[in-house]
Amino acid sequence: MYEYKLIMEQYITAGLIGSLVTIVIQAIINAISERVKHKRELRSLVFQRKLEVVEKAMSWYQETLDMYYMLQTALKEYDKDCNPITVQKIQVACMKSNKLFQETESRLNSIYLYYDFSDIEKKYHGRESMDCINKLFTLVAEIGHKIATVEPSEFAEQLCVALHEQRVKASHMLADAIDNQVFIIAEIGQKLRTEYKEYLK
């Protein structure tokens, strides 16, 4: 009888241990499944957020490229004849530029949470390039102001011609300086598209 009781206790203990091991293993499997599911959901949420941010940024980049191309074309057309259509193109491009740069914060800042473009900006000397563009814009505007404020005199026409030639030269330099910004934006766009394609594989 004692042996029977001992055997029964062993069976009961083995059954309890087996049940406990099954429960522990099931809990471990559930925890791992939940963790994997959570990571998958988190990746999906991050991807969705990145996609929204990239779409806004790519839209801004494309509009900026279009504006830069329009401005470059107009600046290269700018010559001593001061064609009114060319002047109008420059004005339209400048208005678009102002609008885009006012929207930069709302459309671009989030992209820098997910991406680092410092390698591209270094490659094309992004800061120096923008400084050069800003200085050339200022120079063109200053020359235009000087032309507008030339006092009538016997040398006024010669002075205006000389100033206008300087403005044409500065405008052409500005058109060339814009290339770096175009390269930066194009390479950033390519980097974003490449990552998106990689994620979809």
pLDDT-derived band at 1 (thresholds 50, 70, 90) equals low
DSSP assigned state of 80: T
Q: Is residue 38 part of a domain?
A: no
In the prediction, which pLDDT does 19 show? Answer: 81
pLDDT-derived band at 191 (thresholds 50, 70, 90) equals very high
Q: Is residue 93 part of a domain?
A: yes
> Which tens digits make up the pLDDT trace of 149-160?
888 888 888 888
Query: Which DSSP string do the residues of 118-166 spell out, in sequence order?
Result: HHHHHHTTHHHHHHHHHHHHHHHHHHHHHHHTPPPSTTHHHHHHHHHHH
Number of domains within the chain: 1
Q: Is residue 13 part of a domain?
A: no
Q: Is residue 160 part of a domain?
A: yes
Mean pLDDT of the chain: 88
Q: Is residue 196 part of a domain?
A: yes
In the prediction, which pLDDT does 59 show? Answer: 93
In the prediction, which pLDDT does 11 show? Answer: 73
Q: Is residue 4 part of a domain?
A: no
Question: Is residue 199 over pLDDT 80?
Answer: no
Question: Is residue 2 over pLDDT 70?
Answer: no
Q: Is residue 20 part of a domain?
A: no
Q: Is residue 41 part of a domain?
A: no
> Which tens digits make up the pLDDT trace of 24-46?
888 888 889 999 999 999 988 98
Range of the domain at 129: 54-200
